[in-house]
Amino acid sequence: MSAFVKDQATRRERKALATRRRILDAAETLFVRDGYAATTIAAIAIEADAAVQTVYAVFGTKRAVLTELLAVRVVGDDAATPLKDRDDWRVMQAESEPGR
């Protein structure tokens, strides 16, 4: 692979990650301000300065946006690994809550 092609791929990856972060930031703002139910994919797209099709292409559903937002904000990981597939998430799920 030539250096030019590799640099272009890296540039695309950085842009994709930046877009993903903008969408998550926008979703967080709207979920907190307006609530999950009142927030639409279109509103997230507008807030993120992205196309609606981009939000769907990156996440698929509003629920997936929320799931990824939790993964990034709660777990502290910027990787697009589904929570259910993460070892730390499994540990949290298996913990019992005090007082229950």
- 24-39 pLDDT, tens digit per residue, is 999 999 999 999 999 9
Neighbours of 76 (CB within 10 A): 8
* pTM across the whole model: 0.70
C-alpha distances in angstroms, 88 versus 16, 31, 32, 34, 38? Answer: 26, 25, 25, 30, 30
Q: Which domain holds residue 7?
A: 3-94
Residue 100 lies in a domain: no
Identify the CATH number of the domain in which residue 83 sits: 1.10.357.10
pLDDT of residue 10: 87
pLDDT of residue 11: 86
pLDDT tens, per residue, the chain with 100 residues: 666 656 666 888 889 999 999 999 999 999 999 999 999 999 999 999 999 999 999 999 999 999 999 888 877 766 555 556 666 666 766 776 655 5
